[in-house]
């Protein structure tokens, strides 16, 4: 079965920058699962997966525009510490360069601490991988038809997918 719109795709990947060491490897845990054609995946990676099938192994290099976007220099914001996601509500010491999540009206968002303060953080809202060319080594594990419910919800359900 080939990957096309409304197929649920399960895959493993290794992520690096061109000529650099792997810095993320899904093989250490469960594979990634997504519903193809619903914009739940990086645009360039979804394009590269189209037409592939279980067992296919390939490498694709994505420019920033097809990955996490180009860096925007106007992306600095000051946020109140009350908006920072803090599992367990532990006292945390924030340092420049630290990745954190902040609650927004669209849900949690990954940001990078630029300057910590007593009651606020100055953060960079660019994705940490924005502006970077990324190399994905991909192994397609499985491809299946999506259920009517998955199509209606716009995402995969079940093991590795979204749970309700």
- State pLDDT tens for residues 81-130: 989 987 666 778 899 999 899 988 888 888 999 999 989 999 999 988 99
d(CA 114, CA 38): 33
**Cα pseudo-dihedral 29, 33, 39, 44, rounded to 10:** 60
Which domains does the chain possess? 7-68+130-153 (3.10.50.40), 76-124 (2.40.10)
In whole angstroms, how far apart are CA 29 and each of 13, 26, 79, 158? 11, 6, 33, 16
DSSP 66-112: GTT----TT-EEEEEGGGB--GGG------TT-EEEEEETTEEEEEE
- State pLDDT tens for residues 5-49: 999 999 999 999 999 999 999 999 999 999 999 999 999 999 999
Q: Are 4 and 52 in contact (CB under 8 A)?
A: no
Does the pTM of the predicted model rise above 0.95? Answer: no
């Amino acid at each position: 079965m080939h990957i096309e719109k409304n197929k649920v795709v399960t895959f493993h990947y290794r992520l690096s920058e061109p000529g650099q060491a792997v810095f993320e490897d899904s093989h250490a845990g469960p594979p990634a699962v997504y519903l193809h054609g619903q914009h739940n995946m990086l645009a360039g990676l979804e394009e590269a997966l189209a037409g592939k099938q279980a067992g296919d192994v390939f490498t694709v290099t994505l420019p920033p525009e097809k990955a996490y976007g180009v860096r925007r220099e106007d992306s600095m914001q000051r946020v109140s510490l009350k908006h920072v996601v803090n599992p367990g509500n532990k006292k945390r010491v924030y340092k420049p360069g630290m990745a954190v999540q902040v609650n927004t009206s669209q849900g949690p968002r990954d940001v990078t601490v630029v300057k910590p303060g007593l009651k606020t953080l100055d953060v960079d809202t660019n994705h940490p991988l924005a502006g970077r060319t990324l190399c994905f080594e991909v192994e397609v594990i499985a491809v299946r038809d999506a259920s009517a419910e998955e199509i209606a919800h716009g995402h995969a359900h079940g093991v590795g997918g979204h749970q309700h």
